[in-house]
Amino acid sequence: MPAPRILILGATGGLGRALHRHFAVNFETITWGRADLDFERPDSIAAKLASQKFDVLLNAAGMTSPDVCEIEPERALLANVVAPQILAECCQARGARMIHFSTDYVFGAEARDLWFETDETVPVNVYGRTKLAGEQAVLKASPGALVARVSWLFGPHKPSHPDNIIQRALQTDDLSAVADKISVPTSNADICGWIEQLIVRHPTTCGVLHLCNSGVASWHSWAEAALTIAARLEVPVKTTTVQPIELACLTQLKAPRPLMTVMSNAKLQSLLGGEIRNWYDALEEYLVQKYQPQ
């Protein structure tokens, strides 16, 4: 059977770029950014998709800033709900598989050790509510679609929290990070590998699936881990110590954030038949590749 043709949406984002780099090696891959498909012009989506041949659509596009979503809820609705629904309707009509990326922010303020795919979702901000509505719209329009929830992404194609903290530590030893917000940092590279397995080996897997590394972290522990690894790699950071602060101290944030969104990856692990590595190991691999390329 020939390899499926893959259409990737969200070409300018870190995950979209990682997906393109990964799949372009062995698959016929098409990547679109906002200039190719504008989610804020939903009337144009169906015609644009009709002009392109593909077997699998990976939707890594959308409005991902909680603060922007909070300020501009109408735009968030178009990007995170209306457009994904149209994409799903088009995929359903042509028999293509849709994999739609969502977020741990669909979970709410309740404190839990782990969130499972079957747990109730009560998002606390516009971003989470629109992403949840987008999940529901996609699965209603295309029951065979897969909704992949991800959290705290990092990788080489777009600076994230560990990159930013290392850059700050090159200039100063006065650093702080939130210690009471907990989730799972997740490698874009690992997500790409999981998605390839889900496409090739599990073509009928559908519904909601958590795609995240193992372990837990706060923004604070994630930051100190990044600095410790960087120092070991002889990156001239001025400190490996970060002052812990509470999320409530970040008064500039427009949108409330859930404090605890650690997702279980047990379903993913069972499906793929192997251990999902810890976020620290994935972070170390990423930073070694960044600062000590072969």
Instruction: Specify the length of the chain in residues.
Output: 294
Q: Which of 127, 280, 286, 291 is catalytic?
A: 127
Q: How far is CA 252 from each of CA 44, 116, 171, 259, 263, rounded to the nearest angstrom?
A: 36, 31, 23, 17, 27
113 Cβ contact list (under 8 Å, min separation 6): 262
* Alpha-carbon gap, residue 85 to 179, rounded angstroms: 36
| Region label for 115, one of left (φ > 0), alpha (ψ between -120 and 50) or beta (otherwise) | beta
Q: Is 291 a catalytic residue?
A: no
* Alpha-carbon gap, residue 12 to 66, rounded angstroms: 18
Strand ranges in 151-235 using DSSP code E only, listed in sequence order? 153-154, 176-178, 182-183, 186-187, 207-210, 217-218
Q: How far is CA 103 from each of CA 73, 150, 221, 231, rounded to the nearest angstrom?
A: 17, 5, 21, 31
Q: Which positions are annotated as active-site residues? A: 127
